[in-house]
């Protein structure tokens, strides 16, 4: 009995000790965690001291030898403006070649208002299709005349090394870089393949010019003659390009190959079907007959020779201004009265500022 009581007492004491031991760890572990946590926060808050002392001083770098700003939006030179210095002036993107240099100081509303007042010949506050097309044709003729007139001056300005009656790509590229602020030393040592040191926008413009150059260079891919240079800077004004357009018309419509385009050949389209089958397309036949009689067959004999087709494709042809006027009316005539008011034009400023009604040169260059 005594032994049993002794064992029972030992068991109670053992349980009590184990309880106390558990109770001790239940308090100790959280306290230790809090201590470690606060110690880590303190360590992170204390800045680390660098072993190496760093000193800074201001260093002034010399300016680069060549600096420039690219703002010309068209791919080629705009020779509509007078004088060499005019080629360097970069206007607002809508004013690259607008009628005169005074427009560079005017806002969109002023420019459009002045053009509207000049085109409104009957002064009734409206532009009908006839007034609009007449004004556009006037601006087209002025642009073409200025392009042809100034082409020779710009050609002789670039043809210097050597002055041999043709412009090489090297001569053009040197002139191109010099007029954008690069020194003679840079131009002389410039790598024409990699174009190191040039901004991306300028590299893209050079690539576009190179592509236009290859299209214009008919006799020698490395140089341009006077007329080829006109085709390069103003493709819409080049006689060679217009002759090529006439050849395309013959290839497309002159089915008997006699170099005389008849009304039926122009109005009724034929395409190849399956095998040897020929499909006749009469869609828009009446409109095409009317266009042939009005714009192509000048002497009314029912046939069009090369001279008549040259007149048809030339940018001075009335059909171009008439089509432009119809397009502007369709896009801006909000009340559908067949005429344009000043308010309707001002409601579409970008449309008209980019059109041949205002900026003829830019409109042509965007087309090509």
Only one residue has tokens 């991306």, namely 200
Report pLDDT for 214: 93
pLDDT mean for each 10 residues of the chain (368 residues):
48 50 57 67 52 41 34 36 37 36 74 95 95 95 90 93 93 90 85 79 88 91 93 86 91 91 88 54 79 93 94 91 94 95 95 91 70
Dihedral angle, C-alpha 42, 45, 48, 53, nearest 10 °: -140
- Going by C-alpha positions, the residue among 115, 133, 112, 103 that lies closest to residue 348 is 112
Taking the C-alpha atoms of residue 362 and residue 365, their distance in angstroms, rounded to an integer, is 5
Say how many residues make up the chain.
368
Report pLDDT for 235: 86
Report pLDDT for 98: 41
Within 10 A of 56 (CB to CB), how many other CB atoms are there?
A: 5
Q: Which domains does the chain have, with CATH numbers?
A: 85-89+104-236+318-367 (no CATH), 240-313 (1.10.238)
Taking the C-alpha atoms of residue 131 and residue 122, their distance in angstroms, rounded to an integer, is 9
Report pLDDT for 120: 96
Could you tell me the pTM of the whole model?
0.63
| Bond preceding residue 22 cis, omega within 30 of 0 | no
E strands of 156-222, at which residues? 167-168
Please state the separation of Cα 228 from the chain's center in Å.
Answer: 23
């Amino acid at each position: 009995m005594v032994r049993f009581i002794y064992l029972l007492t030992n068991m109670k004491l053992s349980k009590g000790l184990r309880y106390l031991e558990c109770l001790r760890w239940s308090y100790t572990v959280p306290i230790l965690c809090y201590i470690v946590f606060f110690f880590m926060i303190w360590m992170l808050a204390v800045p680390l001291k660098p072993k190496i002392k760093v000193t800074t001083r201001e260093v002034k770098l010399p300016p680069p030898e060549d600096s420039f700003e690219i703002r010309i939006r068209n791919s080629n030179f705009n020779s509509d403006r007078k004088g060499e210095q005019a080629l360097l002036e970069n206007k607002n993107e809508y004013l690259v070649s607008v009628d005169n240099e005074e427009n560079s100081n005017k806002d969109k509303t002023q420019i459009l208002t002045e053009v509207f007042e000049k085109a409104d010949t009957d002064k009734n506050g409206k532009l009908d299709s006839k007034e609009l097309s007449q004004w556009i044709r006037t601006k087209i003729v002025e642009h073409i005349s200025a392009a042809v007139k100034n082409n020779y001056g710009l050609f002789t300005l670039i043809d210097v090394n050597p002055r041999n009656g043709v412009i090489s790509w090297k001569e053009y590229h040197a002139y191109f870089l010099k007029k954008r602020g690069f020194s003679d030393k840079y131009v002389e040592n410039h790598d024409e393949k990699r174009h190191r040191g040039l901004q991306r926008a300028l590299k893209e413009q050079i690539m576009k010019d190179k592509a236009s150059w290859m299209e214009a260079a008919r006799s020698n891919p490395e140089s341009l003659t006077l007329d080829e240079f006109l085709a390069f800077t103003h493709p819409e004004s080049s006689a060679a390009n217009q002759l090529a357009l006439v050849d395309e018309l013959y290839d497309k419509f002159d089915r008997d190959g006699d170099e005389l385009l008849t009304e039926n050949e122009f109005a009724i389209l034929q395409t190849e079907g399956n095998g040897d089958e020929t499909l006749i397309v009469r869609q828009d036949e009446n409109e095409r007959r009317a266009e042939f009689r009005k714009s192509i067959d000048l002497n009314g004999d029912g046939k069009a020779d090369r001279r008549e087709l040259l007149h048809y494709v030339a940018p001075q042809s009335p059909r171009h201004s008439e089509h432009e006027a119809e397009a502007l009316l369709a896009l801006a005539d909000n009340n559908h009265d067949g005429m344009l008011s000043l308010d309707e034009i001002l409601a579409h400023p970008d449309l008209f500022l980019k059109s041949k009604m205002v900026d003829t040169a830019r409109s042509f260059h965007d087309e090509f």
